[in-house]
Amino acid sequence: MNGDSVKNHTDVLIFHTGICAGASQIPLMADANLRFASPPSRERSGMRINMLNVVVCVSGGGTNLQAIIDGVARGTITNVRLARVISNNRNAYALERAAGAGIDAVCVSPRDYGSREQFHEALLRAVDEAGADLVVLAGFLVVLPGALIRKYENRIINIHPSLIPSFCGTGYYGLKVHEAALARGVKVTGATVHFVDEGTDTGPIIMQKAVAVEPGDTPETLQRRVMEQAEWVILPESLNLIANGKVAVQDGRTVITA
């Protein structure tokens, strides 16, 4: 997040999923430096529960998407409604995963538009139409337009297959990250979930998990281990924390409450 994104360096964003009995709302302390993102409420067993409308953006197979779908189904991710899956690739298997789980799935491909600007407008429209409270980038190989990032400030998260600030930034994606880690000879790598700002992999970090590099690793074997041991763990955990009001952003850093 750049300095302009945090006015006076004191703004805080808290994802609030207040649960209240009957029609009364749990009172919140008024504070000009606190900004709450309150998802639409839904009725359950006589209680009003605010569900977080989540849009997942993905370009490929969607293994991280599947981890989220499974987490919601198992109940390890709560207060979440998977509203839509968006892909820039009409052949992405992630779209089939979404359809199989009964989730609205749409393709917004730059090939279908006459300019990058038109594509960006269509992408923003697809997110808006889904009523997104949070956007999850789960292997989305598209540089987001600034308009989308600004509109959904601190409401977009990304999973990156390294321990940021190592092996991140422009040009580091997919196998390239693991190739670089092996070339450098690191003994430990991992994955990071972070909020998205207008830089590249520079937003506030939410969670990280380390993974050992083993002798004889190839980029492919390391990629698989990082997915299994880190990505599929911390992305669902981060989503659950956000959906249950436990993540705040203050002074460019996250604050996680128990």
Is the distance from CB of 16 to CB of 37 less than 8 angstroms?
yes
Q: Which two tokens stand for residue 241?
A: 């924390």
Phi-psi region of 131 (alpha: psi -120 to 50; beta: other; left: phi over 0): left
Sign of the dihedral defined by the CA atoms of residues 224, 193, 255, 131, in that order: negative
Half-sphere exposure of 152 (CA within 13 A, CB side): 25
Distance CA 177, CA 182 (A): 9
Q: What is the largest CA-CA distance in the chain?
A: 60
What's the helix, strand, coil split of the chain in %, to 5? Answer: 35, 25, 40
Count of other CB atoms within 10 angstroms of residue 215: 4
Rounded (5°) CA angle 148-55-114: 50
Active site residues: 160
* Residue whose C-alpha is closest to residue 136's, from 62, 40, 35, 61: 62
Structural tokens at position 55:
């849009």
Beta pairing, strands 47-50 & 41-44: antiparallel
d(CA 232, CA 123): 26
